[in-house]
Chains A and B, each alone.
Chain A
């Protein structure tokens, strides 16, 4: 089966909160000294694809829509021996919203050929919209199964995949016809593997397709309609309480009551 995995490069989510800064004008996070990494759920999706290919064969194509720095994560994917890597570059000041991303990814995938499965992460660690996968399914009018953590197929049932997905109550197993979109969440089975050093070294010599928006038949204007639907009007850093409020009270009973109230207030809004 032919799989395409969509990868997103994001600001390192583990950067210390203290170092996190915002550019109020562009309403974007300021990169500062933070690194750029592959979104963890995208990495889980890639790992899912690699395990699937190990067991059932097929080809893996990875696509990233981002600035030129996104080449780094594609090289990481090449170090894991994916078959094809494609970067669609943009130079937008503000990060593209999921609707734009879905439109671009769809156009890219169409240009690349026919695929059976599109894998994406369930959401990204930066803006965390969690929409791109579903929107991509809509671009193709395909089904979408989200929060998947296991993917399988049976040689006796060609054209079908078996997917286990996480739900609020536990999990579900569904059987679906290809082609479809699957968004992947993490579990202890799809922990991203590390690349062998030789593969890392050869990854830089591998071909990497580099497209602009024009190459996939899109332009900023045609994307505008996607852009104006949702707009970020404000981005702020909430002031975190640095100090701990110790519950006071004359008697132990009072203090316990005070603590209970604080706890219940948080629990009820969870």
Chain B
């Protein structure tokens, strides 16, 4: 060891190495073709603008492709993925070092660098990679199988499984799961054989620095005890060619499997939407667009097609999907994977995609509540929900076929400007007994209170609107309502796929708001909030829009409202999807609860961006679901499990859905506590009103 430079002989014991270099050519060609084919496929999509704000985009890539923030959300998977990820990076660097050292003749693989990095670090990371692969295999081969056999799709154990809906087993999915197992086996064999090669070399050459590669050294010691040097040399040669063959084979094959995701995920993260989920939908240009909605691969943009190829098949989207959780046919993962399969196997991109597989059936598509949990959960930034809406648009506008009760709601929107067919209320009934200024009378206001259809026409929600009006009055806010001039913002129409009706309603509302020179809009409905704030600008209407919780919180902090008394109650807050996850507003309603109620509110397990939908979005408020597939009942169960006296909400749909759900669950379980559902405005009004 003295005076000798630490290094090792590259390609020890291997002859005819030229074969390796020759085989590199087809490997790279096949791999290259794999990438090229995908790239060509993406180019068949429609245009999209995804290259603005490069620094923000790079930040996204850094956060999710390098630091892997999103993957880490599930600890177990995040852990073993990090092991594999960093392990493979280190191993790749190590191989590059060998390449530079041996083929370029730059003698870098020697000395302290060789000992500390190329030997020790690489060995440790190699072992960690095997550990990671082993954990991944245990999840796939043991835990998943165990739960599939026992039909447990909601495993609460530590491995956080993402099982696809068992009703959907298209051939592509079976192929994918075989493929995934094969990938694991491939990588394990490659890595284990790598250690064997190292160990046998260390043993056979009496490598003086062998101990710097601890795991290779262990292999060496173990082998020495039962193998002769000659045997090790023979084994080494065979294993070397096996190892090389597997590596090259893997490199050639990977771009055709989900292992392309290191590349496609990075591309997908770079081109990801920079706007909140609530602003995901794009308007259709009815004068110029060729098709209304999407019913073919050609109808998608190149970004949508890239989305399909970025999918790592992790299944988190389906695991968090509320429709899937209650047993409906919808599985966001299968939507993406089936579309991916179609994009790879079809030549004709104009062929119909809706109903091409069970996951793409109208039944599945109409089950979506548009909550966006799938989009939020995806670690590689795929947009599943907007694609579902794209296909709904085709069904609603090109084929004019929707579920019956949705058709009724659409008909009511067209005839009356609200979706509540059969209501006997008019938009001003809730004002009875209150002095509520109407914009038609006062002509201008500081703040426009946008009541919304739910707030005006559904009896339970009228109480919330009244509380809101009384709070504004008490705070001395110069507000007004549109009253009869208010029409539905169009959110239900848009979510049900009728973009035409949405734009008509939106343009009418924008014209009304502009006629009165409205600057600030406050609304108690997150759907109205999201639509006016994020969707009206594209149609020419820009206003400052606040959710009532934000505005009320502001009034309290400005001293215009102060609580006289706090009530004692255990309160939990149900984050509305369109306020929380889709617009990142979580704190304002919680602050209101803190102001109004004494003990700190309880956080539900699924809260904030992981909140579980009440089931009312996407037009689902207007649909009659089968009794055993009610999203709101599932959420009600979660609410009741907290033991709270009150569940606070901030949305008229959540209000009705949760009241319904809580009553239903309580009816079948008489021991359940009488939990009340209250809006945060109602809680605040109770706290600030004079008795």
Q: Which residues of A pack against B, CB within 8 Å?
A: 12, 14-19, 33, 35, 37, 191, 193-198, 200-201
Contact = CB atoms under 8 A, between A and B. Distances in A.
Closest 4 CB pairs of A and B: A197-B397, A196-B400, A197-B500, A16-B426
A33 B417 CA distance: 11
27 contacts: A12-B416, A14-B415, A14-B416, A14-B421, A14-B422, A15-B416, A16-B426, A16-B429, A17-B424, A18-B429, A33-B484, A35-B415, A193-B400, A194-B402, A194-B407, A194-B410, A195-B400, A196-B397, A196-B399, A197-B286, A197-B397, A197-B398, A197-B499, A197-B500, A198-B292, A200-B500, A201-B286
A197 B416 contact: no
B53 interface: no
Contacts of A33: 426, 484
A228 to B, nearest CB: 35
Contact of A35 (B399, B416, B422): B416
The contact size tier of chain B is 20 to 34
Nearest to A18: B426
A57 to B, nearest CB: 22
Contact of B425 (A16, A35, A201): A16
Contact of B415 (A37, A191, A196, A201): A37
Contacts of B398: 196-198
B64 to A, nearest CB: 38
B411 interface: yes
Nearest to B291: A198
Counting chain B CB atoms within 10 Å of each CB, which of A12, A19, A194 scores highest?
A194
B498 interface: yes
Contacts of A12: 415-416
Nearest to A38: B415
Contacts of A35: 415-416
Contacts of B411: 194
B512 to A, nearest CB: 14
B405 to A, nearest CB: 12
Interface of A is mostly: loop
Nearest to B286: A201
Contacts, number: 52
A198 B499 CA distance: 12
A197 B410 contact: no
Given A12-B415, A17-B424, A35-B415, A197 B498 contact: yes
B416 A18 contact: no
A16 B424 contact: yes
Given A14-B422, A16-B426, A197 B292 contact: yes
Interface string B269-308: 0000000000000000010000010000000000000000
A154 B685 CA distance: 69
A35 B410 CA distance: 15
B157 interface: no
Interface in B191-210: none
Contact of B424 (A18, A193, A197, A198): A18
Nearest to B411: A194
A50 to B, nearest CB: 12
A201 B498 CA distance: 13
B500 A16 contact: no
B293 to A, nearest CB: 9
Interface string B393-414: 0001111101010010011100
B150 interface: no
Contacts of B15: none
Interface in B627-673: none
Contacts of A191: 404
Interface string B50-90: 00000000000000000000000000000000000000000
A17 B426 CA distance: 9
A249 B337 CA distance: 69
B400 A19 contact: no
Given A194-B400, A198-B397, 19 more contacts: A14-B416, A14-B421, A15-B426, A16-B423, A16-B424, A16-B429, A18-B424, A18-B425, A35-B416, A191-B404, A194-B410, A195-B400, A196-B398, A196-B400, A197-B286, A197-B396, A197-B397, A198-B292, A200-B500
Nearest to A80: B400
Contacts of A17: 424
A194 B396 CA distance: 9
Contacts of B397: 196-198
Nearest to B417: A35
A35 B411 CA distance: 12
Nearest to A192: B411
A197 B398 CA distance: 6
A231 B484 CA distance: 34
Contacts of B410: 194
A40 to B, nearest CB: 10
